[in-house]
Amino acid sequence: MPYRIVSLAALFLAYSFLGWIIESSYKTISRRRGFVNSGLLSGPVVPIYGFGAMGIMLVDDATRGLVFPLRIFVLALLCAALEYIVGWLFETVFKTRLWDYTDRRFNIRGRVCLSFTLAWAALATVFIYFVRPFFERIAGELLGFAWMPWLLGAAYAAFLADAAFSFRSLALTSSFIAKLRARLEPFDLDELRSSAHGMKRRLLSAFPNLLKSVSDTIGQDLARRLHEEGGDWFLKALRAMREGTPESEALDPDYLSAVGDILLDEKVQSMGAIRHHDGSLLVHSLTVSLASYYIARGLGYDAVSVARGALLHDFFLYDWRTARGTGHRTRHPGIALENATARFKLNAMEKDIILSHMWPAAKPFYSYKESFLVSTVDKIVSTKEVAKILKELMPQGVKA
């Protein structure tokens, strides 16, 4: 049956909307973390379903003479091909995976897998026998109203604006990932910051793989550098992170000259009596500072500011276990900065290292790559310390 352009345009939007309902419901139910607004666009449409429906309509019309199983087989092939091509396109153009089936059985390069193809084929069957006839009847009736083309025009204007905005946001995200990939070297921080804002929370929750590519990239970069250059510094950092910083250990003379004035301060020394994770606040801060300092030396970053900022990153001077319910997690970087600036002369990078070390649990975002480094090392060291406590608490004979 030939369709008028207006009718096709209306059906495309309607099917994209239907796809959004299906996907958002599936993700909201399966992830159990509140409502997920699925898809790349902000509006309630997922255009791949619109395109898919158009393709299925063509195949449906062309295969009318075939027996039922053969028709369904052709539809399944079409769904798989469409999903594969769109997945490949995003990986090639935006260097981004919007979905990833690599941990599912019978997948092809993570872009398609058997279980989802079968699910699409089932949906396509429901579509040709029930959804399509129903929607075409409704569209035929609605398009009889004179105001319908105007409403459709307005819907398309909103859809195109949304698409332009969302693709720009995705382009910013992939350039952020590409920058990290091109080693964590002098990137333009203002641009990095705006990219991080561009990676809208909604995009990240709809496509958790974006976040995974960022962390994978950082991990690969560090591993590569460990083998290529500054290996010695990285090994020292790894040892500091693995074994902690024994108070008796003779510290690197360059490190000592960078932080000597801080270590001699009596308030800093008082951190030795404040409990933190599995030891004292002083040992935690020293470990983060020393490990970050070694990595900074290996990467050619400002190691002195890293050592100083990291040593003071938790300079909040109270036992946080007695301060539960006071917003310690988000407030302590500000308190540490206030204490630190009252006693030491700090440069802008050192201040930023202290203030941003809790990102993303607390704002602000990093203004220096050195701040990103300290914040990452702090997270690794803290996780290690907490894991050690849990292991000690575990009853004898129970394996972790």
Shortest Å, Cβ 373 to Fe ion: 13
Nearer to Fe ion, 76 or 353 (CB): 353
Shortest Å, Cβ 284 to Fe ion: 6
Instruction: Using alpha carbons only, give the angle 70, 23, 28 rounded to the nearest 5 degrees.
Output: 140
Nearer to Fe ion, 209 or 382 (CB): 382
Q: Is the distance from CB of 87 to CB of 167 less than 8 angstroms?
A: no
Concatenated DSSP letters of 3-70: --HHHHHHHHHHHHHHHHHHHHHHHHHHH-SS----SSSSSS--HHHHHHHHHHHHHHHHTTTS-HHH
Residue 348 neighbours by CB under 8 Å, 6+ apart? 367
Spatial separation of the C-alpha atoms in residues 260 and 80, rounded to whole Å: 63
Spatial separation of the C-alpha atoms in residues 189 and 365, rounded to whole Å: 11
- Report phi then psi at 107, rounded to 5: -105, 155
- How do beta strands 275-276 and 112-113 pair? unpaired
Q: Which residues bind Fe ion (CB under 5 A)?
A: 314, 378
Residue 245 backbone class (left: φ over 0; alpha: ψ -120 to 50; beta: rest)? beta
344 CA to centre of own chain? 36
Nearer to Fe ion, 205 or 289 (CB): 289
Nearer to Fe ion, 98 or 307 (CB): 307
Q: Is the distance from CB of 281 to CB of 275 less than 8 angstroms?
A: yes
Nearer to Fe ion, 80 or 288 (CB): 288
Shortest Å, Cβ 358 to Fe ion: 6
Nearer to Fe ion, 223 or 387 (CB): 387
Q: Is the distance from CB of 315 to CB of 336 less than 8 angstroms?
A: yes
The DSSP symbol for 332 reads H
Q: Cis check for the bond before 360: say yes or no (omega within 30 of 0).
A: yes
Give the DSSP H or E segment for 113.
strand 112-113
Shortest Å, Cβ 33 to Fe ion: 25
Nearer to Fe ion, 314 or 370 (CB): 314
Shortest Å, Cβ 320 to Fe ion: 9
Nearer to Fe ion, 214 or 374 (CB): 374
Nearer to Fe ion, 7 or 280 (CB): 280
Nearer to Fe ion, 77 or 389 (CB): 389
Residue 110 neighbours by CB under 8 Å, 6+ apart? 87, 97, 100, 101, 102
Nearer to Fe ion, 83 or 378 (CB): 378
Shortest Å, Cβ 305 to Fe ion: 17
Any alpha helices (H) in 182-324, and if so which ranges? 189-198, 201-206, 208-228, 231-243, 253-263, 266-270, 281-299, 303-311
Shortest Å, Cβ 135 to Fe ion: 55
Residue 352 backbone class (left: φ over 0; alpha: ψ -120 to 50; beta: rest)? alpha
Which residue type is seen at 13? L
Shortest Å, Cβ 289 to Fe ion: 10
